[in-house]
Amino acid sequence: MRKPIRVLIIDDSAVVRQTLAQLLASDPDIEVMAAVVDPLVAVEKIKSEVPDVITLDIEMPRMDGITFLRKLMSQHPIPVVVCSSLVEPGDETTLRALEYGAVEIVTKPKVGTKKFLEESAIRICDAVKAAAQARIKPFRGGRDMEVAPKLSADAVLAAGKPQALRTTEKIALVGASTGGTEALRVFLEAMPLDCPPLAIVQHMPEHFTQAFANRLNAGCRISVREARDGDSMLRGQALIAPGNKHMLLKRSGARYYVEVKDGPLVSRHRPSVDVLFRSGANYAGKNVVAAIMTGMGDDGARGMRELFDAGAFTIAQDEASCVVFGMPQEAIKHGGVQKILSLEAIAGEMVRRCNSG
């Protein structure tokens, strides 16, 4: 019998501490070690007992979460899931937490519909499980949970025969999750100015994707931005799926564009890599070069097999360079991967394949 994942909750709100503790304790694979009011109390706890995972608020008295995270990851790295309330678009505080070594970002549960709370519970527990599996590098510079049905891409888009036109224009599709914020930075910074059109799904909450795209855009030669419904797929541009929305590749004549839409969670995610990849198989087929990167779970595995069957060229990030090998591993198991590459090699291979005609 596996040992449960032991979690230390750090949050100055008693309501949030109680809610998080209840949500986590409802999963039989997770045990709440303690729930404390601020990082200084947490430090004393860690001295006597080291948790497997920490959930961390950002705004707290005595020491803020960012300062604590930076100190923790430079001195005693422990997997951290940042639990933050929804922020205003453009806020980059939580993205800085990812740079310092946080494994995941989740939004704090708020009062709302039963569906929202159920989705929050699943996402938080999945984030903790992903963090427990993550390879952490030092920063340098109770009740059985009621699980909602795990839907496939059928819930958003029916599978169909590829409708790709004969064209020399290739489209690049990418999916990532845990560890993907850093992986995508490395990947996109390696892209040349005239890179193929890129559509990317990174599992990330609503509002964070705008700031994430802005940060990437500032550091890359190519244009990177959050996708809007109807945006054309253009060379030298990467479109990031908005948090809490699905993104699909569509075609009108010889023009490729993206559709951004609502819909149920697919493979427990919105946006879902499976949805993007299926749309690529349906509308672009052999004109796609796709990559699946670091992440927990199996989102993208079925979609990548559909791309493979439609004639696309498919790549998976290798285990050695992944923070969590889950998503690439599942895609490999489904038989949809043609090439396994290190993170640093993926951009060059995608460009070569897209330019090969």
Q: pLDDT tens, 33-57?
A: 999 999 999 999 999 999 999 999 8
Cβ atoms 119, 265 nearer than 8 A: yes
Cβ atoms 313, 321 nearer than 8 A: no
90/97 Cα distance (integer angstroms): 15
Question: Structure pTM?
Answer: 0.78
Cβ atoms 258, 227 nearer than 8 A: yes
CB within 8 Å of 199: residues ≥ 6 apart: 171, 172, 173, 174, 227, 233, 238, 239, 241, 247, 249, 258, 276, 280
216/223 Cα distance (integer angstroms): 9
The catalytic residue among 11, 52, 120, 177 is 177
E strand spans, 217-348: 223-226, 237-240, 246-252, 255-261, 288-292, 313-317, 339-341
CATH fold of 153-355: Rossmann fold (3.40.50)
User: If we measure between CA atoms, which residue out of 219, 218, 224, 220 comes closest to residue 202?
Assistant: 224
Cis, bond preceding 61 (omega within 30 deg of 0): no
261/248 Cα distance (integer angstroms): 8
Pairing of strands 5-10, 30-36: parallel
CB within 8 Å of 212: residues ≥ 6 apart: 95, 181, 202, 204, 240
Pairing of strands 237-240, 198-202: parallel
Q: How many helices (H) and strands (E) does the chain have?
A: 11, 14
Rounded to the nearest 5 degrees, what angle is found at the Cα of 271, between the Cα atoms of 147 and 207?
A: 105
Residue 203 a catalytic site member: yes
CATH fold match for the domains 5-133 and 153-355: yes
Q: Would you state the pLDDT for residue 289?
A: 98
Per-domain boundaries in the chain: 5-133, 153-355
User: If we measure between CA atoms, which residue out of 267, 246, 313, 250 comes closest to residue 286?
Assistant: 313
Instruction: Give the strands of the sheet with 53-56, arranged side by side.
Output: 30-36, 5-10, 53-56, 80-84, 104-107
CB within 8 Å of 279: residues ≥ 6 apart: 157, 248, 249, 250, 259
The catalytic residue among 27, 52, 84, 203 is 203
Q: Would you state the pLDDT for residue 104?
A: 84
316/35 Cα distance (integer angstroms): 38
Residue type, position 225, single letter: R
Q: Which residue has the tokens 């060059």?
A: 348
**Does 5-133 carry CATH code 3.40.50.2300?**
yes
CA 129 to chain centre: 14
56/152 Cα distance (integer angstroms): 31
Q: Would you state the pLDDT for residue 268?
A: 83
170/195 Cα distance (integer angstroms): 10
- Alpha-helical regions (H) of the chain: 14-25, 39-48, 65-75, 93-100, 114-133, 180-189, 208-219, 273-283, 301-309, 326-333, 343-355
Q: Would you state the pLDDT for residue 98?
A: 81
The catalytic residue among 246, 299, 318, 321 is 299
Q: What is the pLDDT along the chain (357 residues), one digit of tens a residue?
A: 679 999 999 998 888 888 889 889 999 999 999 999 999 999 999 999 999 999 998 888 788 888 899 899 888 899 999 887 755 544 567 778 888 888 888 776 555 445 656 677 888 888 899 899 888 877 665 333 344 455 556 656 666 655 545 555 899 999 999 889 999 999 999 999 999 999 999 998 887 899 899 999 999 999 999 999 999 999 999 999 999 999 999 999 889 999 999 999 898 889 999 999 999 999 999 999 999 999 988 999 999 999 999 999 999 999 999 999 999 999 999 999 999 999 999 999 999 999 986
Q: Is the dihedral of CA 179, 309, 224, 250 positive or negative?
A: negative
